[in-house]
Amino acid sequence: MNVIVHSPTRVSLSSESYILSMADCYVPDWRQRALVHTPMSSKVLTHYDEAHSTREQPRDAASVKRYGGKVGALVYTSPCVRADTCASISRLARALTFPTPELEKEADQCIVYLAQTASMSLTFDGHALDATRLVCYSDSDWAVGHSTTGYACHLAGASFAWASKRQMCITASFQLKPRSWPRQHAQSSSHTFASFLSRWGLSSPTPHLCLWTTAAPSSSRVIAARVTSHITSIVATSRCLSCTLRASWTWSTSTPTR
């Protein structure tokens, strides 16, 4: 971890040293490559689906080891300061046992992207707007068969904690448990973080919880009823926990872009 102290109230964190070492190890010619603007190409989902459809076919042991080394090295960057690569690395990590040349190229692109932006950092600024206010965002998307849920926590103008999970199975209770996880986790995490910040000298940090959901329009009355029940449960539980944790919260809905 690289730490740059700009002033007594402003500090930046990056993984520049680790990223450059990783790039030199796995993609030695990254300095000669064209500028990369995204950590993965627009075809990565297609490449993954193709690899997944042939996952039962035997793979060359050397390619599996090489791919695993690259993705394993990438994993260490996302939990620290590079949230912009989380989605890419998560997708690549699902194919550790059935890699393809196309997916390995995607891994190389992610490494090159990180190397070219190695100095990108999280900057915490004590003079940022509402710098002492802890804000946690929680989102649930049930517009797809296997839902995706997650949360992110922000303080002093930067994110410092984030997580995302994909629902592994679909059951009759799919509308409640998988989507209540990010809300509950965000709320409990905000309480924990607020306690730590208080001990570190931040006077009375008040967590603010922003809850979102994305629901696809459905003609099924059963699905609509489940979604309505889930939203009602979120609002009721959030109000209860907000009183318990002494946190403010807001509720918002959105619809996916078609």
State pLDDT tens for residues 107-163.
Answer: 999 999 999 999 999 999 988 888 888 887 777 666 656 667 777 888 888 888 877
- Among the residues of the chain, which ranges form H helices? 16-26, 44-53, 61-75, 86-93, 101-116, 177-199, 221-245
Give the rounded percent of residues in the chain with a pLDDT score beyond 90. 40
Nearest to 143 by CA among 86, 213, 212: 213
DSSP type of residue 143:
S
State pLDDT tens for residues 172-212.
Answer: 444 445 455 555 666 666 777 777 777 777 665 555 566 55
Torsion sign across C-alpha atoms 133, 138, 74, 27: negative
Question: In Å, what is the CA distance from 158 to each residue of 67, 129, 131, 155, 165?
Answer: 32, 11, 9, 6, 22
Q: Of 2.40.160, 3.30.420, 3.90.550, 1.20.1070, which CATH number belongs to 126-254?
A: 3.30.420
Which whole number is the average pLDDT over 77-99?
Answer: 89
Q: Domain-by-domain residue ranges, the chain?
A: 2-116, 126-254
Q: Does the global pTM surpass 0.85?
A: no
